[in-house]
Amino acid sequence: MAADLNRELAEGALGNSVSIIDPLRNHRWDRFVQQHPYGWITHLSGWKRVLDANFPHMYGYYLVIKDAADGIKAALPVYSVESWLTGRRLVSIPFATLCDPLVTDAGDMELLSEAVLCLAQCLGISRVEIRTAAAAHLLNRDRFHADCLRKHHSLTLCDDPEQVWQRFHRSCVRQRIARAERCDLHLIRGKRESDLREFYLLHRVTRKRKGLPPHPYLLVKALWQTFGPQGLVELLLCRKGSETVAGLLLFKFKSRVSIEYSAVNALHNDSSPVHFLFWTAIREACLQGYRVLDFGQTSEHNKSLMEFKSHWGAQVTDLPHFLYPNAPPHSSAMGDESMAKKLLQFVCNKAPDTALSYLGDFCYRHLG
């Protein structure tokens, strides 16, 4: 049904000069993402390819405004997420930390906002969520409710890593890096699937310790296989002797590097392997000409993680999620959500390691 509707809408305009394209078939799309100031790896056609292959409960609609030469002027990718557990909704973009609307003009944003609500009506969906960062000022807060509970930490880079080093907290970061350099730690660049599997098993245990379901292995593998050959995803492993004790999966696109997935063996925290990997990623990003390093998304309620990221000299900004309809959640719904989170944390903490992957697969079939 979604595919038929997508084809039907694609044949004409979705109101006020907005239409739908398929980024896997439109050769202009990735070039548009590359050139747009808010374009990020999650906007690329490869991201849609990964979601299409692994999450049948999602369907992508790439809303665009074209210019007189039939080029893409502005865009808003959204996905319908179908779930009997969490309900039906339109989301931009599933599993993405940064996924701004590719818009720089308030008038274009208004046209796309009207179009996405029209699309939701056509699909019989009542909930819409547009995730933003740099483009937050373009959204109409009379039409959407702004949820600003998520924060984003980013570190400004320069050509000289030592200048960035000076912004690190002396005891919480610099001394920990010095300690790591005195330990028997060495860097491995993951090239084989066995490296990725090794990282994932450690990532799964790390998520369990935090009371969170692990990301599905097929998702992590698909992202690595899709973007790795292009140099857009890199796997860094830290080993102590022959044992892998920490790892990072990095996204690298245009002038930005982002730490998307991390893992650490808590038994080796005294060796500071995470600090070793973070400093390696920062130093190499500087030397390779990148200008920003992201530490990812954090809930404002996670004070310890907020503090950890700030110790690296990172700046914190809001990651507003704009929700339709424009009404803050009822207190009872918030209470239900809190209870669900606590129950999920309890299950994750108690589940055997072998069951965690199944739990993660189940949860991510209902998330977005």
Instruction: Give the CATH number, domain containing residue 229.
Output: 3.40.630.30
Nearest-5° angle of CA 272, CA 275, CA 281?
A: 145
Based on the fold, state whether residues 100 and 199 are members of the same structural domain: no
Rounded distance, CA 129 to CA 108, Å? 18
Run means of pLDDT, 10 residues per run, the chain, 368 residues: 52 70 95 98 98 94 92 96 86 94 96 94 94 95 92 97 97 97 94 96 91 90 97 97 96 97 95 97 98 94 93 96 81 49 72 78 77
Based on the fold, state whether residues 251 and 126 are members of the same structural domain: no
Q: What pLDDT does residue 10 have?
A: 47
DSSP string for 16-60: TTEEEE-TTT-TTHHHHHHHSTT--GGGSHHHHHHHHHH-TTEEE
The single-letter DSSP state of residue 315 is E
Q: 243 in a domain, yes or no?
A: yes
> Where a domain ends, among 278, 297, 318?
318
Query: Range of 190's domain?
Result: 152-318
Q: What pLDDT does residue 124 have?
A: 93
Q: What pLDDT does residue 313 have?
A: 97
Q: What pLDDT does residue 328 have?
A: 66
Q: What pLDDT does residue 43 have?
A: 98
Q: What is the pTM of this model?
A: 0.92
Q: 367 in a domain, yes or no?
A: no
Based on the fold, state whether residues 237 and 89 are members of the same structural domain: no
Based on the fold, state whether residues 159 and 259 are members of the same structural domain: yes
Structural domains of the chain, count = 2
Beta bridge partners of 80: 59, 90
Q: Mention every residue, 6+ apart, whose C-beta is less than 8 A from residue 335.
A: none
The encoded tokens of residue 143 equal: 């039409």
Rounded distance, CA 332 to CA 290, Å? 45
Based on the fold, state whether residues 66 and 31 are members of the same structural domain: yes
